Amino acid sequence: SYGGYAAMAGATLDPETYRCAIAGAGVSDLPRMLSWERDQTGGKDSIVMRFWKRFMGADRINDNAIAQVSPARLADRVQGPVLLIHGRDDSVVPYEQSELFQRALQRAGKDVEMVELQGEDHWLSRASGRLRVSQVMIDFLNRHNPAD
């Protein structure tokens, strides 16, 4: 969720700072996520939508302020390789959010890898999913940000 968004945002909003980015189940398009949340939680007056308005300053789904900090809309700014990891059965952040960023990065000619975790949820509840994610992340970091 936020950790995945923060990795994507760092790679797009402050790209000089990072050699690479790993985003797990991140939100890449805030207006689309808000629209999904509204539809899932009972409309514009739901507690989730009130949270977004109060703490994120999002008065409307199409608010330009949230579009301007949506990584999928800023993919051309990315400088390093990006690894996206997302469980197919995620009920917190739709899998589509990682797909959107992947496609945006590909259109921008950026280096992106996507790991789709079949049968895995937002929390990586299965041990096999956690092990696979750990292995993929170690391999990615060894290639793009080695310790030595």
| DSSP per-residue string spanning 101-137 | HHHHHHHTT--EEEEEETT--TT--SHHHHHHHHHHH
Would you state the pLDDT for residue 62? 65
Q: Which residue would you say has higher pLDDT here, 147 or 132?
A: 132
Would you state the structure tokens that stand for residue 18, as one six-digit string?
A: 């990072």
User: CATH number of the domain that 97 lies in?
Assistant: 3.40.50.1820
Residue 92 lies in a domain: yes
Q: How much is the average pLDDT of 13-23?
A: 98
Rounded to an integer, what distance in angstroms lies between the CA atom of residue 32 and that of residue 87? 18
Q: Which residue would you say has higher pLDDT here, 33 or 102?
A: 102
Residue 140 lies in a domain: yes
pTM: 0.91
Q: Which residue would you say has higher pLDDT here, 67 or 17?
A: 17
Residue 25 lies in a domain: yes
Residue 45 lies in a domain: no
Evaluated on CA atoms 8, 32, 75, 109, the torsion sign reads positive
pLDDT at residue 27 greater than cutoff 90: yes
Q: Which residue would you say has higher pLDDT here, 15 or 43?
A: 15
Q: Which residue range forms the structural domain that includes residue 16?
A: 2-29+70-144
Residue 126 lies in a domain: yes
% of the chain exceeding 90 in pLDDT: 72
Residue 50 lies in a domain: no
DSSP state of 14: S
The region, left, alpha or beta by phi > 0 then psi within -120 to 50, assigned to residue 116 is: beta
Residue 54 lies in a domain: no
Residue 20 lies in a domain: yes
The tally of domains found in the chain comes to 1
Q: How much is the average pLDDT of 41-70?
A: 74
The string of pLDDT tens digits covering residues 59-112 is 665 677 788 999 999 999 999 999 999 999 999 999 999 999 999 999 999 999
Stretch (H or E) spanning 21? strand 21-24
Q: Which residue would you say has higher pLDDT here, 34 or 23?
A: 23
